[in-house]
Structure 1
Amino acid sequence: MAVYEQVADGFGVVRILPLDAKADAEVIHGWVSEPRAEFWGMNGLTQEQVREIYEGLEAFDTHHAYLAVHEDEPVGLLQTYEPEADRVGECYEVEPGDIGVHVLLAPAGDAGGRPGWSSSVLTAFTSYVLVGLDRRRVVVDPDERNERAIARFRRQGFECGQVVVLPEIDLPEVYLPEKRARLAFLRRETMLAQ
């Protein structure tokens, strides 16, 4: 069942659904295994490993994963997190109402890209977290080398912040290497004014 729906002019309805780690593992594995997803950090993982990661995420109250669908086709992956419960919270001054997101858009289909498609999916994601979850500001932390993502966020209205070093996390249940990230922020009032 959808937790949020957004009508995008010229594109249709984008529905945000809770990710089902078991049912959606094949789709997500296909996306994160592509060279274009190198910054997602899951290149080289098996479908089983991807499923296990997202099953593990379900145990947290502070981190959540969602699948965006358009006309019953998956079009994007959204992960939300509470910045104070994530390594990014060590790198900037978290404000009340902040929410962090990680976004991965589905690859273009066989027919190629559709004008406005990326913007429509990102608008659905930002509307969900800022309006649906009643948050004040979204923070993203793409790898500083991921110029395409940074440019996409800027076009979406995000304001770029500083480059920070996200510390390595080495726990039994998760390993994340150190990462140089470009922080960017989108305030609710900016999104609503667009």
Structure 2
Amino acid sequence: MNSIITHPENDITTDVVFVKTIPGLGVFELRPIDMENDIPLIHNWVNRDYAVYWEMNGFSEDDVRDTYYKIQEKAEVYIGVFNENVAFLLECYDPKNDIVGDYYETQKGDKGMHILVAPSEKAIPNFTWSVFTVILDFIFSDARNKRIVVEPDARNHKIHLLNKRAGFVFQRVLDLPHKKAHLEFCTRKDYYKALQSV
């Protein structure tokens, strides 16, 4: 499916850093997290059963806010908006500054990511896949990013399938202090090749 991608970095009237329009579906935007206005919603998401791998079940709103202030010290945190509704959360980080960097040989151009999609009120076919393409298009739109690194929980079978569809290649199981994880890499070439077969 063709898409239209723009970079509104010269638009001083908006905080939006990336836009992708998917014909027949709608407009996706990425903007930095607003710690005051977004945290109540994020708190709702991370306390739901489906977000158990986010490891914040039982956190208070203040706990979630404090956590994101800490995360922002080492990562860029974005809110994904779909047709003007908040739809997902994205964290982008440098793996060499993260615990995962102690478990594999990092390379210049590596970019780590974590994503959390909002609970769906109305099912949209392939919505999570569309979110995934928005995120990977955004990360790879920066020429400095050569490879995306992910370390999802080994039990999170849904994300493993999504990663494989997007071109991620499984490396090995990692025994991290807080979880058993799959180390997976996706280069720009891997991603674009995967898109051709979708």
Shorter chain as normaliser: what TM range?
0.7 to 0.9
What amino acid does structure 2 have at the position aligned with 1:16? L
Map Cα deviations across residues 99-136 of structure 1 (whole Å, 9 max, x no partner): 00011111111x3x211211111111111111146411
1:83 partnered with 2:95: yes
Residue from 156, 160, 178 that aligns with 2:166: 156
Taking only aligned residues, the RMSD between alpha carbons, in angstroms, comes to 1.4
Higher relative contact order (CA 8 A, sep 6+): 1
Q: Which residue of 2 aligns with 1:131?
A: 141
Q: Which residue of 2 aligns with 1:31?
A: 45
1:105 partnered with 2:117: yes
How far apart are the structure 1 equivalents of 2:38 and 2:192? 31
1:74 partnered with 2:86: yes
Q: Report SS of the residue matched to 1:31.
A: helix
CA shift at 1:191, angstroms?
Answer: 2.0
Gaps of 5+ in 2: 1-14
How far apart are the structure 1 equivalents of 2:139 and 2:93? 10
Q: Which residue of 2 aligns with 1:18?
A: 32
Cα contact 1:4–1:132 (8 A) shared by 2: no
What amino acid does structure 1 have at the position aligned with 2:79? L
Identity among equivalent positions (%) equals 33
TM-score (norm 1): 0.87
**Residues 133 and 155 from structure 1, CA distance in 2 versus in 1: closer, same or farther, beyond 3 angstroms?**
same
1:55 partnered with 2:69: yes
Q: Which residue of 2 aligns with 1:190?
A: 190
Map Cα deviations across residues 76-121 of structure 1 (whole Å, 9 max, x no partner): 1101110000000011121210000011111111x3x211211111
Q: Which residue of 2 aligns with 1:92?
A: 104
What amino acid does structure 2 have at the position aligned with 1:162? R
Q: Which residue of 2 aligns with 1:166?
A: 176
Aligned residues: 180
How far apart are the structure 1 equivalents of 2:183 and 2:161? 12
How far apart are the structure 1 equivalents of 2:159 and 2:114? 11
Gaps of 5+ in 1: 168-177
What amino acid does structure 2 have at the position aligned with 1:182? H
Cα contact 1:11–1:120 (8 A) shared by 2: no
